[in-house]
């Protein structure tokens, strides 16, 4: 799970804020069944080519949740309008927040209507799963809903925990707010960037892994 520190392309810094997928990577609740498994099918020294297949959860590493993940009649991932994921975003530095992000934490930031926000927390400073990871509490989700926020990304493998009924997910999804989980924001400063975040186009998927990169504006 390595964050690219920024690669210069045409005098513009590009930051890869995606997790690296491998068999020993951090997964939700450290469940063995959630670890991706890669199987070698063909080897170059035997068949002249290298080929492999991988079995993994659709919510592995950096991924985008489809509304169908939480809503019985929600849209599946292949129907998501990807133009909503190629846009300007704002990174908010909340690395001083302990346990949960509430409406009070967000009120301290200059959040504007229709923005897409990436929440940087202390989660980005470890590559090990922590059961007490910082999450977006339902009051924070309600505040962002009222602001008309179009998308939220967070550096945890889940945007919430310890909330029966998953209210944070539902508040956001019912207002068509896109959720990205598993970002790596350690090396990203608070401010505005241009984001490219494209999920795999999996028919009927409740989510999909994504490669997410930022460009300096």
Query: Domain extents for the chain?
Result: 7-216
Q: What are φ and ψ of residue 143, in 5° steps?
A: -60, -45
Cβ(116)–Cβ(141) below 8 Å? no
The contacts of residue 213 (CB under 8 Å, 6+ apart) are: 14, 15, 16, 17, 18, 195, 196, 197
Q: What are φ and ψ of residue 69, in 5° steps?
A: -60, -35
pLDDT at residue 12 in the model: 77
CATH placement of domain 7-216: 3.50.30.50
Token digits for 67?
Answer: 């509304």
pLDDT at residue 9 in the model: 56
* C-alpha R_g of the chain: 17
pLDDT at residue 3 in the model: 40
Q: What are φ and ψ of residue 148, in 5° steps?
A: 75, 30
**Percent helix / strand / coil, the chain, rounded to 5:** 20, 30, 50
Query: Within 13 Å of residue 137, how many CA atoms lie on the same side as its CB?
Result: 13
Q: What are φ and ψ of residue 55, in 5° steps?
A: -110, 125
113 CB neighbour count, 10 Å cutoff: 9
Spatial CA neighbour of 38 closest among 46, 30, 50: 50
Pairing between β-strand 135-136 and β-strand 100-101 as defined by DSSP bridges: parallel
Q: What are φ and ψ of residue 30, in 5° steps?
A: 55, 30
Residue-by-residue pLDDT tens, the chain, 217 positions: 334 455 655 667 999 999 999 999 999 999 999 999 999 999 999 999 999 999 999 999 999 999 999 999 999 999 999 999 999 999 999 999 999 999 999 999 999 999 999 999 999 999 999 999 999 999 999 999 999 999 999 999 999 999 999 999 999 999 999 999 999 999 999 999 999 999 999 999 999 999 999 999 9
Cβ(191)–Cβ(198) below 8 Å? no
The contacts of residue 29 (CB under 8 Å, 6+ apart) are: 129, 131
pLDDT at residue 5 in the model: 53
């Amino acid at each position: 799970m390595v964050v690219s520190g920024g690669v210069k392309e045409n005098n513009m810094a590009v930051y890869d804020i995606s997790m690296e997928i491998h068999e020993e990577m951090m997964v939700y609740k450290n469940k063995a069944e959630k670890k991706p498994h890669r199987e070698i099918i063909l080897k170059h020294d035997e068949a002249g080519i290298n080929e492999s297949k991988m079995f993994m959860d659709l919510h592995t590493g950096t991924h985008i949740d489809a509304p169908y993940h939480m809503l019985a009649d929600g849209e599946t991932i292949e129907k998501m309008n990807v133009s909503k994921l190629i846009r300007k975003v704002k990174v908010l530095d909340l690395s001083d927040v302990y346990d949960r992000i509430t409406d009070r934490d967000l009120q301290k930031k200059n959040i504007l209507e229709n923005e897409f926000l990436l929440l940087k927390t202390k989660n980005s400073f470890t590559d090990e799963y922590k059961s007490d990871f910082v999450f977006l509490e339902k009051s924070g989700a309600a505040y962002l809903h009222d602001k008309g926020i179009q998308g939220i990304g967070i550096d945890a493998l889940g945007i919430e925990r310890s909330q029966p009924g998953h209210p944070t997910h539902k508040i956001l999804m019912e207002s068509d707010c896109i959720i990205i989980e598993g970002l790596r924001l350690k090396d990203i400063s608070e401010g505005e960037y241009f984001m490219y975040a494209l999920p795999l186009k999996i028919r009927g998927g409740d989510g999909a892994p994504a490669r997410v990169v930022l460009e300096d504006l």
